A and B are shown apart, each in its own frame.
Chain A
Amino acid sequence: AQKITQTQPGMFVQEKEAVTLDCTYDTSDPSYGLFWYKQPSSGEMIFLIYQGSYDQQNATEGRYSLNFQKARKSANLVISASQLGDSAMYFCAMRARGNNRLAFGKGNQVVVIP
């Protein structure tokens, strides 16, 4: 079974500053994928970034980067230069290879303030 842990309380972030969202996971599968999703108050679930368990380099997508520390089983999301539109709930998720189940963490609420 896979388990994702996101424990940070709601966060307020100053516009233009960077923010790190913590995610730890637990799995016995040797091959898996890690994902971050953004969900604004309007409800759509937006895929942000993906990290494969065998990827040697940390994933980056524009202002999003994933700090992957396999030995620590952590996959923290870093958002650089926060914008007001980044205010949302952020979910960390993982999926074992060959398994269609996506395990979600409880989410982190981020509010960006001007």
Chain B
Amino acid sequence: DTEVTQTPKHLVMGMTNKKSLKCEQHMGHRAMYWYKQKAKKPPELMFVYSYEKLSINESVPSRFSPECPNSSLLNLHLHALQPEDSALYLCASSQEGGQPQHFGDGTRLSIL
């Protein structure tokens, strides 16, 4: 079983909806990540939180809004998404300093 838990596993939403993806880890990791992955492609980094502060935003459109309420939780708020935003969204966590990132099972998002 994965130690990083993502909910929901699947999400279908219209372009005018607002929804949130959730991620939780209890490994004491201080860095948490959001990735977007299209089929047959490697994951693309979206955001990094380090010690609960946003440290990297890879020029992601503002319709994606991350939030880190505490060291164990990471949210991704979605609003007014486009069909091209349909993808697998992966959350990951790690210790600082070059240690492996551990991923959740992902949320498969479909935008109608």
Contacts and interface: CB of A to CB of B under 8 A. Distances in A.
Interface of A: 31-33, 35, 37, 42-47, 50, 52, 89, 91, 95-102, 104-107
B31 A100 contact: yes
Given A35-B101, A44-B103, A104-B42, 4 more contacts: A31-B98, A45-B90, A52-B98, A100-B55
Given A101-B45, A104-B43, A107-B42, A45 B106 contact: yes
B28 interface: no
B99 A102 contact: no
Nearest to A32: B98
Contacts of B61: none
Contact of B88 (A37, A43, A52, A102): A43
Contact of B98 (A45, A46, A96, A104): A96
A55 to B, nearest CB: 12
Contact of A102 (B45, B105, B108): B45
Contact of B100 (A35, A43, A91, A104): A35
Interface of B: 2, 31, 33, 40-43, 45, 48, 50, 55-56, 88, 90, 92, 94, 96-106, 108
A106 B42 contact: yes
Nearest to B102: A47
A66 to B, nearest CB: 13
A47 B90 contact: no
A45 B55 contact: no
A37 B56 CA distance: 22
A72 to B, nearest CB: 21
Given A100-B31, A100-B33, A100-B50, A47 B56 contact: no
A44 B100 contact: no
Contacts of B96: 98, 100
A98 B31 CA distance: 12
Contacts of A31: 98
B100 A98 contact: no
Contacts of A99: 98
